[in-house]
Amino acid sequence: MTNISRRTLLKSSAATAAGVVAAGALTTASASSKRVVIVGGGIGGATAAQYLKKMDSSIDVTIVEANKDYYTCFMSNEVLSGERTLESIHFTYEKLVAKGIKVVFDQVTGIDAKAQTVSTAGGKSLGYDRCIVSPGVDFKYDKVEGYSAEVSNTSIPHAWKAGPQTAMLRKQLEEMKDGGTVVICPPGNPFRCPPGPYERVSQIASYLKEHKPNSKIVVLDPKEKFSKFGLFMDGWKRHYGYGTDKSLIKWIKKSEGGTVTKVDVASKTVTCEAGTFKADVLNIIPFQKAGKIAFTAGLTNDKGWCPIDHKTFESKIHKNIHVVGDSAIASPLPKSAYAANSEAKVCAAAVASLLNGVEMVEPSWVNTCYSVIAPGDGISVAMVYAYKDGKIIKVKGSGGLTGAYDAELRKREVLYAHSWFANITADVFG
């Protein structure tokens, strides 16, 4: 491939990074001396791998991923309500391998920025020219006395990484008696998927309304407000009697003492200023920080997230290492799968440009977050982002929130949500 044709490809790919489909695959005869190792094969990592290969097939792309099975967090709240199965959010890596991407199932234990190597628990050492890190989030268990990773795996799941904990939480909801209390404790900002805890409240409320109508949900929140606040409140009133004596949902915010500080694991009782609350089913979603390997590799700042250049996603701490997805500080982009997917495309364009010695073009990003409040009642928030003066900015007038209630439109939002799920998972794992 000539430099000119590669440059053209990179430009067109980056320009469409915000969209679902980038430029088509190209083949090249040039020998590969361009090694990219990707740490974490979730949404950010798998997208980056796919798009690097599409942009320049001569790049040697290796993903190192801890698990053979990936369960999407998005739509996992529908598993909790019984709307879909766990299998429907399960993805594997065969299709990536078929496209020439190397996938190593192992835990990355270190990244040596000087030697440019990635080391694994299985004893491998992989050299790279550029490394892309997308390890998702880790949890600050110590914010709630008595809670821990072990407790989350055995009796009080956070289910904020989809998979076995999602199945455990679903089983607990199924086994709960009618008239039981579900206590949900969302985290403080910033965290993965800002509307996620409230979509979860809605989905569980929908299940209880139909199957266990005498039950209640208590939400103990360390925040005053949350994403799509007005739309959720409106939906909770419409479907779950919110604000009345018969409300299925009680939401206790920070100023009402909603910040949970302690849990008694045996009795599933949590303590906050508002009082003590005994749950039949307890879901503590811990405060969050960058994925563990980001700390080990020295990629985090004092707030526990990874500072990056907003155009290339290269770490501001270590050269030749890029960070995308939830671990990266890419605000105003949210910590969402759609944003991780969009960031990974821009990062892939940057890495392919850098490896080929061509200039990176102006990037742009897109994000939409759907939430289904009740069957046939979907809402969304959308935004397009641009790059200006070294920063990611929101494009004024783009996107926005779902408008006032309109039954037909709300049904369509649910269809859009499900078709978005099909499209993004095909883009990432297909």
Q: Which residues bind ligand FAD (CB under 6 A)?
A: 39-45, 64-67, 70, 73-74, 76-77, 107-108, 134-136, 160, 192-193, 196, 200, 291, 293, 325-326, 335-338, 340, 369-370
CB nearer ligand FAD, residue 28 or residue 368: 368
What CA–CA distance (Å, rounded) separates 103 from 68?
A: 10
Please say whether the beta carbons of 132 and 324 come within 8 A. Answer: yes
Point out the residue whose Cβ comes nearest to ligand FAD: 42
Q: Closest distance between ligand FAD and the C-beta of residue 324, in Å?
A: 7
Q: Is the peptide bond before 375 cis (omega within 30 degrees of 0)?
A: no
Q: Closest distance between ligand FAD and the C-beta of residue 200, in Å?
A: 6
Q: Closest distance between ligand FAD and the C-beta of residue 135, in Å?
A: 4
Q: Closest distance between ligand FAD and the C-beta of residue 52, in Å?
A: 15
Q: Please, what's the b/e burial string for 223-248 (b: 16 or more CB within 10 A of its CB; e: otherwise)? A: beebbbeebbbbbbeebbebeeeebb
What CA–CA distance (Å, rounded) separates 233 from 243?
A: 9
Q: Say if residue 357 is exposed, middle or buried (CB neighbours under 10 Å; 0-12, 13-18, 19+).
A: exposed
Query: Tokens 């969304």 sit at which residue?
Result: 380
Among candidate residues 268, 375, 347, 380, the one with its CA nearest the CA of residue 61: 347
Question: How open is the CA angle 176-257-283, to the nearest 5 degrees?
Answer: 25
Query: Tokens 């069957």 sit at which residue?
Result: 375
CB nearer ligand FAD, residue 11 or residue 71: 71
Please say whether the beta carbons of 6 and 356 come within 8 A. Answer: yes
Among candidate residues 191, 385, 147, the one with its CA nearest the CA of residue 305: 191
CB nearer ligand FAD, residue 77 or residue 206: 77
CB neighbourhood size of 301 (10 A): 12
CB nearer ligand FAD, residue 9 or residue 282: 282
Q: Closest distance between ligand FAD and the C-beta of residue 389, in Å?
A: 26
CB nearer ligand FAD, residue 63 or residue 279: 63
CB nearer ligand FAD, residue 111 or residue 208: 111
Please say whether the beta carbons of 270 and 282 come within 8 A. Answer: yes
CB nearer ligand FAD, residue 14 or residue 372: 372
What CA–CA distance (Å, rounded) separates 157 from 149?
A: 9
Query: Tokens 């302690």 sit at which residue?
Result: 262
CB nearer ligand FAD, residue 9 or residue 350: 350
Please say whether the beta carbons of 179 and 214 come within 8 A. Answer: yes
Q: Closest distance between ligand FAD and the C-beta of residue 21, in Å?
A: 17
CB nearer ligand FAD, residue 180 or residue 291: 291
Strands (E), 273-323: 275-278, 281-284, 287-290, 321-323
Pairing of strands 60-65, 35-39: parallel
CB nearer ligand FAD, residue 236 or residue 421: 421
CB neighbourhood size of 153 (10 A): 13
